[in-house]
């Protein structure tokens, strides 16, 4: 059993080396029962992220690798790599490692043990611990409430950057994934539900990390407006998508 731990990267040179060392150390000490590798997925970067990854790949061949996707978009980058990966489980986390790595076993093991097809980190379920600004907390809560109202689901947190999916599940859902940016998470989760796959929500310890005064790439008002438009468009698409035979 092979797991890919993927880091989508857009101009993350300020924090990339720290994050790679942290993830590499954690995985090396974890004693996982499965094989693993760390994959950097560079998308739309103009800094030295690729040089940093080349150095890590040279020092840890077979354990660390990366690809470059010229066009921007986290969703685009993940779809591009996951479509060709041979790993059994495809996992991704934000490059700042905002979610504690101690939450990785709870995310991965349900898929390894065939107890779930998709596992998603949740900052809004019982047992989660979150440290971020009140404004960002309000925006997150508002988005998830609005999505539940428009799309009629019971997922607490769609947008947490901490997810893992079985490769065969992703391949079934892949033809229906349209968005190349942040809405990718919502599409992946709700399409998996639509097709009857088992979705596990995992409470996480999440901290708003801003290493070395690293600026956030999230633009609150612009992204909120885009999310609203995407939710409405996705609602129309879902009505036209039939469930797979045997789905629940």
Please compute the mean of the pLDDT values over residues 145-174 and round it to a whole number: 92
Poorest-pLDDT segment among 53-57, 80-84, 118-122, 132-136: 132-136
Report residue 120 CA to chain centroid gap. Answer: 8
The pTM (predicted TM-score) of the whole model is 0.89
pLDDT single digits (tens) 9-52: 999 999 999 999 999 999 999 999 999 999 999 998 889 999 99
Q: Is the dihedral of CA 79, 114, 128, 209 positive or negative?
A: negative
247 found inside a domain: no
Query: Which domain range does residue 23 map to?
Result: 2-240
Compute φ and ψ for 202, nearest 5 degrees. -115, 115
Catalytic: 102?
no
179 found inside a domain: yes
> What percent of the chain lies above the pLDDT cut of 70?
88
Between 142 and 164, where is the model more confident? 164
CA distances from 57 to 95, 107, 159 (A): 17, 25, 30
| CATH assignment at residue 69 | 3.90.550.10
114 found inside a domain: yes
Nearest to 26 by CA among 82, 128, 97: 97
CA distances from 87 to 83, 116, 170, 239 (A): 10, 16, 11, 32
Q: What is the total count of domains within the chain?
A: 1
50 found inside a domain: yes
CB atoms near residue 84 (< 10 Å): 7
> 94, 179, 180, 185: which is the annotated catalytic residue?
185
């Amino acid at each position: 059993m092979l797991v890919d731990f993927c880091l989508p990267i857009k101009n993350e040179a300020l924090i990339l080396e720290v994050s790679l060392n942290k993830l590499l150390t954690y995985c090396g000490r974890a004693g996982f029962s499965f094989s693993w590798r760390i994959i950097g997925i560079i998308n739309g970067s103009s800094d030295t992220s690729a040089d940093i990854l080349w150095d890590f790949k040279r020092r840890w061949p077979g354990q660390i690798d990366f690809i470059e996707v010229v066009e921007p978009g986290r969703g685009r980058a993940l779809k591009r790599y996951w479509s060709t990966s041979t790993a059994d489980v495809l996992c991704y986390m934000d490059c700042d490692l905002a979610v504690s790595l101690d939450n990785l076993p709870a995310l991965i093991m349900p898929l390894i043990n065939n107890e779930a097809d998709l596992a998603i980190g949740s900052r809004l379920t019982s047992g989660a611990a979150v440290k971020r600004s009140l404004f960002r907390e309000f925006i997150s809560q508002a988005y998830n409430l609005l999505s539940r109202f428009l799309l009629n689901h019971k997922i607490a947190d769609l947008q947490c950057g901490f997810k893992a999916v079985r490769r065969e599940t992703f391949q079934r859902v892949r033809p229906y994934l349209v968005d190349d940016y942040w809405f990718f998470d919502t599409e992946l989760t709700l399409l998996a539900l639509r097709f009857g796959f088992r979705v596990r929500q995992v409470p996480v310890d999440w901290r708003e990390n801003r290493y070395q005064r690293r600026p956030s790439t999230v633009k609150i008002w612009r992204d909120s407006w885009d999310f609203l438009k995407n939710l409405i468009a996705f609602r129309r698409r879902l009505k036209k998508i039939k469930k797979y035979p045997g789905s629940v």
